[in-house]
Amino acid sequence: MMHSLIQLSIAVLLLPLLSFVVLIFFNRRLPRGGDFVGLGLLGTSLAISLYIFWNVIVQHYDPAFSVAWNFTWLDFGNVPGVGPLQIKMGIVIDNLTAIMLAMVNLISFLVHLYSTGYMHGEKYYGRFFAYLGIFTFSMFGIVLSDNLFSIYIFWELVGLSSYLLIGFYFHKDSAADAQKKAFLTNRIGDIGMWLGILILYSQFHTFGYQEIFDHIKNGDFHMSQAWLTAAGVLLFMGCVGKSAQFPLHVWLPDAMEGPTPVSALIHAATMVAAGVYFVGRIFVILTPDALHVIAFIGAFTAFMAATIAITQHDIKRVLAYSTVSQLGYMVLGLGVGAYSAALFHLLTHAFFKACLFLGSGAIIHAMHHEQDMRWMGGLYKKMPWTFATFMTATLALAGLPLTSGFLSKDAILAGALGFASVEGGGIFYLIPALGFGAAVLTAFYMGRQIWLVFFGESRTHLKPAEEHGHDAHAAHGHDDHHHEVHEVAWNMRLPLVVLATLSVFIVFSPDPLDGGKGWFMHLIQTPATVVASTGAAHEGAGLHVPEAGKLLAEAHTDTQHVEAAASHEAEGHGPVFADPRQAEIAHMTHENHYTAIKLSSIMVVIGIGMALIFYVFRFIDPDKTAQAIRPLYLYSFNKWYWDEIYDATFIKGSILISKILAWFDTNIVDGIVNGVATIFRKFAFANGSFDKYVVDGLVNFTAFTVQTTGAVFRKVQTGKVQTYLVMVVVAVLGYFAFYLVHLMK
């Protein structure tokens, strides 16, 4: 059975890749652009994923279930200065893997089905399904990977896939800019992630999750706690990029420039889910300091994004900032140790947010690609199926009782309260405060959206004439703005019904208040975790580890598992070791569960009440209120001016630095090079002149002298004996004449 699970998981991984290969090369030669190929292969993959889910989750129902397989991919032998260097690839299947495979596959299949209606008539229809295939393949690779190196490969493939899909309408400048923004922003986070991977590899000489965990468990490391914290924070940077956390959150709202089915896939099941999933996988190595950083970033992101969503007009932009906010909740949950709750919210959010995005797509499709909520209204009568499913998903997002969002989000907030109380309060209470504040705003902006879109009278006729023709429908070549609005076809409606059904509490727990009684919270428990010890530090490590076993084998530091830990130990699943601090967090989290439910319910009521006051009963006019607090309104509407701040600092700063470097290169570096060249050129000229006029002059003068002398002597040296005799006689006579003259003196 274990071997067959591995084989089946490989099939799940490769089927979307096959879809991509077939469609990218042959989509124009196939009927309907080959959409049936993508749909059929993803349907097969979904069936296999559900079979794996049934075997792992339903039949085994064991929190400790895990099966792994790997092989040596590259073997570099014994590398000088490094030692043996091997890179392995492998697959791990545990409860989290099985759940994520089923979730990603289901949503991807539903998006494929939905797209056959939404994207019908597009110029690059077949290419779109090819891109969906490579996107799904990349996410499956992340879910199945058993080591940091292979997950990084698929991590970058997800980045490439998102680049292709966000910029699908590449002829639009806004889409082209959005795809570049997403790609470059994510590369910043990925650089940090890679540095974190390298830190761990330099210490442990392996990329494998389990091998790294075992090294830490056994105290087999020499880095200080500061280095381990740095590695954890750097790895978390990958999540900051992929899951759009502050300060790298700016790309995700712009990602809506891609087709709406892409938004559903990115915001629910693939790209943004990857970041939170990755932090869950490396949760074991995160030190308390790293978790503090993670918790504060998640809390701030959840609140900040919610404050932006309340003023946006674009139906998809509201949902985009909602995604950023909900991802903040998940990251917050991981930071406070509510491991199970955070991953539970990842699952529940995937279903109701996919439903909301596909629902918004149905609305946009029916409204002939109008996306501004100000010109909608009255759609609940004309689109009853879309309204019912959209409302169900909205209630889940707002966290109302009887929904899945209520179970998961309140578990995170309970964990935040328990964490803050154990940490001594103070600034740590800011974490749950921001979480509850975001809950108020979530209920408000979703109530505002429901009213503007579905209730009241249709406001299409109120849209200024100059705004017509500038919406996304221009990209599709449609200009039928005044056609009758009607419900979408079955292939777009069925995914909404399935996803809305999965947003109800009964799917995950028989108890509407849960308290950790659901199957997910039982199966996805906090993994083995190294914790601070009250005993001595491991020699030379700089990091305190438990003396007895050095391992928190089943540390239920999560919200609702104090009792579960004891029963798990009693059943013989292994010792449960927890230091007092971890046990206290678990206890306080459990104690605060119903407090979190009460406070969260109050926040939701306040948020919905505010939406009713402003938009339904209009006791307070929202437009006049916006004018009265215009600076705050503009601050929210302009997204806290993050884009402008980044443009003024990082972007213009980078341009300024590039100009300074260009000036330095031109005037200093090139100046030095050109100056040296000039000096050597003049030296060469002087040297050439000296050679020409002095050296060559002496040589030529010597030659001339020899030549002239030779010419003279050539006249004398005739070769005739008579001449030589005459010359001798003349010479002798000359000598005697000279002698006689000398005697006479």
- Give the distance, in angstroms, between the CA of residue 290 and the centroid of all CA atoms in the same chain: 19
Residue 285 clears pLDDT 60, i.e. is over it:
yes
Tell me the percentage of the chain whose pLDDT exceeds 90.
58
Burial of 182 (0-12, 13-18, 19+ CB in 10 A): buried
| 19 found inside a domain | no
- The string of pLDDT tens digits covering residues 185-233 is 999 999 999 999 999 998 888 899 888 888 877 777 777 788 889 999 9
Average pLDDT over residues 601-606: 94
- Structure confidence at residue 583 as a pLDDT band (50, 70, 90): low
Burial of 464 (0-12, 13-18, 19+ CB in 10 A): exposed
- Structure confidence at residue 451 as a pLDDT band (50, 70, 90): very high
| 673 found inside a domain | yes
| 258 found inside a domain | no
- Structure confidence at residue 1 as a pLDDT band (50, 70, 90): low
- The string of pLDDT tens digits covering residues 327-377 is 999 999 999 988 899 999 999 999 999 999 999 999 998 888 889 999 998
Distances (CA, A) of 137 to 20, 168, 189: 9, 18, 22
Query: What is the biggest distance separating any 2 CA atoms in the chain, rounded to whole angstroms?
Result: 156
Distances (CA, A) of 546 to 211, 283, 575: 19, 17, 13
Average pLDDT over residues 706-711: 85
Residue 535 clears pLDDT 60, i.e. is over it:
no
Q: How many CB atoms lie within 10 A of CB 460?
A: 16
CA distance 486 to 356: 18
Q: What is the pTM of this model?
A: 0.84
Number of domains in the chain: 1
| 166 found inside a domain | no
pLDDT at 581: 58
pLDDT at 473: 41
Residue 532 clears pLDDT 70, i.e. is over it:
no
- Structure confidence at residue 569 as a pLDDT band (50, 70, 90): very low
Distances (CA, A) of 102 to 5, 56, 181, 339: 14, 11, 30, 20
- The string of pLDDT tens digits covering residues 113-161 is 999 999 988 889 999 999 999 999 999 999 999 999 999 999 999 999 9
| 289 found inside a domain | no
pLDDT at 540: 31
Structural domain range at position 664: 646-717
pLDDT: is 54 or 477 the higher one?
A: 54
CA distance 500 to 402: 13
pLDDT at 176: 93
- Structure confidence at residue 584 as a pLDDT band (50, 70, 90): confident
Amino acid at 447: G
| 108 found inside a domain | no
The C-alpha angle with vertex 693 and arms to 688 and 696, in degrees rounded to 5, equals 90
| 290 found inside a domain | no
- Structure confidence at residue 576 as a pLDDT band (50, 70, 90): very low
pLDDT: is 513 or 18 the higher one?
A: 18
- Structure confidence at residue 549 as a pLDDT band (50, 70, 90): very low
| 426 found inside a domain | no
CA distance 160 to 138: 9
